[in-house]
Amino acid sequence: MSSLLFFIVLHGVLAFVFAGSSSLDIIARKTIQYEDNHAITFKEQGIWNYSTMLIREDLGLLVLGAREAVFALDINDISVSRSKVLWKVTEEKQKECTSKGKHPDIDCHNYIRMLHQMNDSVMYICGTNAFSPTCDYITYDNGQLQLEGKQEDGRGKCPFDPFQRSSSVMVDQDLYSATSLNFLGSEPVILRTSPITLRTLLKSSWLNEPNFIYMDAVPESEDSPEGDDDKIYMFFSENAIEYDFYNKLVVSRVARVCKGDMGGLRTLQRKWTSFLKARLDCSVPEPSLPYVIQDVFHVRHQKWRKSVFYAIFTSQSSSTDQSSAVCAYNVTDISNVFSRGKFKTEVAVEMSDVKWVTYSGDLPVPRPGDCINNAARTSGIKSSMNIPDKTLQFIRDRPLMDDAVHPITGKPLLLKRGPLLTRLVVDMVTAADGQSYPMMFVGTANGYVQKAVNYDGEMHIIEEVKLFESEEAIDVLRLHQNQLYAGSASGVVQMPVSNCSRYSSCLDCVLARDPYCAWDVPAQRCSRFPASTEHAKSNLIQSLKDGDATQCPITAPIEPKVRTLVLGNNIRLLCRPDSNLAQVNWNLAGKPLPYSNRKYTIYNDAILISNASSADAGRYTCVSVEQAKGKHYTKTLAIYDLREEVAVVVTDKIKTTLGIPNEIYTTSSGLIKPEEPPSVSKNQASESKWIAMQVALAMLSIMMACLLIWNLYMGHISPFMCCGRQPIKSHGNLPRMEYKSAGNDVMDSKPQMVSLCVTTNSNLEVTGFHRNGDPSTGIHLFKYITDESEI
């Protein structure tokens, strides 16, 4: 356990030296939601797991491998499917898979896991085939995909388990693959399928429960003064054998083999004689277990010594607070560790079976793991079969290097807490300053692609785009001619590497610090760089390292928007900042809002005024402040004039009743025209409410009168008394009834004789009611009749 503690402490101390790296809490400047990404999508009903891609530029195709299907999609518009071929498992294979304990609906299908171009017309394809890996050849002719039906055993080429990581590359018609040889996944192998097939030894010192990630070839024979051979580099993670502790520790590795390796004559027959591996380091600023490699992208250069491998690493801590990192490694640095570094060797010690220490003895000649070069040829070693057994025995027992490979910058280019990073591609972009910048597109476990760049050690995430509606991991990323292709379990998305139209102003465009974009002054828009020929470079504004937007022209002031303040209501005023990095400030009448006041609730894109009162009226100004390299840039985003306005809107019917002309309506300030809305005070508002109440009472009286007339007309109420079928006469005159509205008489004020009738069906009778204690009024009430003989 002491070795583990020492390793962790040492790892943390080394990382602390580089503590100036980016914060774990770095956020993207812009967030583009799924509804706004304007991406092209492809998916087919019933087809899942779009995880294998092959770009055929010569055919204008994106060849897409999914579960039991292969598609040929238009590379410029993947929504256009030119051809499709199904490759399903047989019923027999599915039953066999199920009988071995695998899930029939998940495991026992054919997942396409490998696609490689062999020549202009033929591609090599492999699938899991219900835990029975199988390979075949596929062609595209006359606009149609077709399987050749020449099935081959796929063991060692394609994984049995559809969810197990594997890697492969085709080099000069030879297939290099890294996967498992058996059903249980317990026999890992790095295999070359060629006229002379080579593989790794089944020893834990060679491969110890590995998880294969990526492999690619580097043409190191080009311009090599030593006459060196080309190399194939492999990236994977495995359980460490060099640390003595109880629990397993996963470490990241890079390994290599020589392209011209033919195996040994007696020792290591049909095994790699050039296999070497080293630990891949990606130190983080805080003490932790080593991060584990997840994906690699090879940025090729015309001069191979300048080629770079970019890699994603994620924490292996069980903590819920997970983080990811991106480190970059120079091919030359990796090669130097293998060609000049020291080896580790195992020794027997007390209280332990073995312990790995630095080998300090003399190395045999030629150097173990070296490819056949000019020096070897001079000494009579023409191929690996001529290598002496002493050298082969050394490499058989000691394939691990003592030195680790460190990143170019000594620290991560990107270090981020949050959803884990899953896949990576890198585009080299030449900006307006003439420099080339590596633009990283990083897929996440929740379906986003983050667009990030490192400026002299400062990590800057330009934007993050949500590619899929659901939060699903991005399983594959490809980059081709300014287009990005992303695949997941449910579908595929195509999007451009940059959309400069998202930047709405010069300030927004420059502060984005996007190498693809620059502000075009004559056109007054953010345009793709390099700009079209009609605009000189002097007309473009771009500042990547400094984010200097002082050259931006002064913009016209924003026109205020008038909003109505309704007393007692909650009022929401929108204000969306251009950047997640900007701080939004609200002012009322030129003074900052008291954020501590519970009346105001500040959101990312708005402010909410609760229970509005007259004191909340005034001018609200929303201002964003964004910082770049120590400078603060202020931008007014919105201005609102919040006015308290109360107006009584009178309908045409009421205006006719009250004798008001149609082109006029009434407020407390008098009669005004509709195009001149009033602004009233509190007293005027009270008077207006009183007028409205009078109008309502007048209308109620009119409606009651109309209801009475309608009932008389329909016979619901008879003018004669129902009791004895005699009219009920009053014993006196009714009081004078007057109805007035706004000074106008609505009903006649003459005395009225009221006759009421009760039908026999109602079982009611009339009794006298004395108004104000005077029986002479003769107004009657109804009461229930309990005896039917009275009817």
Convert the pLDDT of each residue in 541-557 to its tens digit: 999 999 999 999 998 89
**Nearest alpha-carbon partner for 343 in 324, 378, 367, 371:** 367
CA pair distance 86, 669, nearest whole angstrom:
79
CA pair distance 221, 618, nearest whole angstrom:
75
Q: Could you tell me the pLDDT band of residue 619, with boundaries at 50, 70 and 90?
A: very high
Q: Is the pLDDT of residue 731 over 90?
A: no
pLDDT digits (tens, 9 = 90+) for 50-65: 999 999 999 999 999 9
Choice between 347 and 82, residue whose per-residue pLDDT is larger: 82
pLDDT, the chain, mean: 84
Q: For a pLDDT cut of 90, what percent of the chain falls above it?
A: 70
pLDDT digits (tens, 9 = 90+) for 434-488: 999 999 999 999 999 999 999 988 999 999 999 999 999 999 999 999 999 999 9
CA pair distance 719, 232, nearest whole angstrom:
111
Phi, psi of 386 (to 5 degrees): -95, 0
Q: Is the pLDDT of residue 342 over 90?
A: yes
Q: For a pLDDT cut of 70, what percent of the chain falls above it?
A: 80
Q: Could you tell me the pLDDT band of residue 319, with boundaries at 50, 70 and 90?
A: low
The pairing of strands 458-466 and 30-32 is: parallel
C-alpha pair distances (Å), 710 with each of 425, 697, 706, 714, 737: 82, 20, 6, 6, 20
Give me the residues paired with residue 112 across strands: 127
Q: Burial of 682 by CB count in 10 Å (0-12 exposed, 13-18 middle, 19+ buried)?
A: exposed
Give the pLDDT confidence score for residue 23 in this predicted structure.
61
Q: Is the pLDDT of residue 667 over 60?
A: no
pLDDT digits (tens, 9 = 90+) for 239-254: 999 987 667 899 999 9
210-213: long-range contacts (C-beta < 8 A, 24 or more apart)? 210/178, 210/236, 210/237, 210/238, 210/253, 211/165, 211/236, 211/237, 211/238, 212/165, 212/166, 212/167, 212/178, 212/179, 212/188, 212/236, 213/165, 213/167, 213/237, 213/293, 213/294, 213/295, 213/296
pTM (global) more than 0.75: yes
pLDDT digits (tens, 9 = 90+) for 765-774: 333 334 344 4
Q: Is the pLDDT of residue 756 over 80?
A: no
Give the pLDDT confidence score for residue 665 in this predicted structure.
39
Contact 28, 580 (CB under 8 A): yes
Contact 756, 780 (CB under 8 A): yes
C-alpha pair distances (Å), 83 with each of 62, 113, 132, 143, 689: 11, 19, 26, 7, 73
Give the pLDDT confidence score for residue 336 in this predicted structure.
97
pLDDT digits (tens, 9 = 90+) for 587-604: 999 999 877 778 899 888
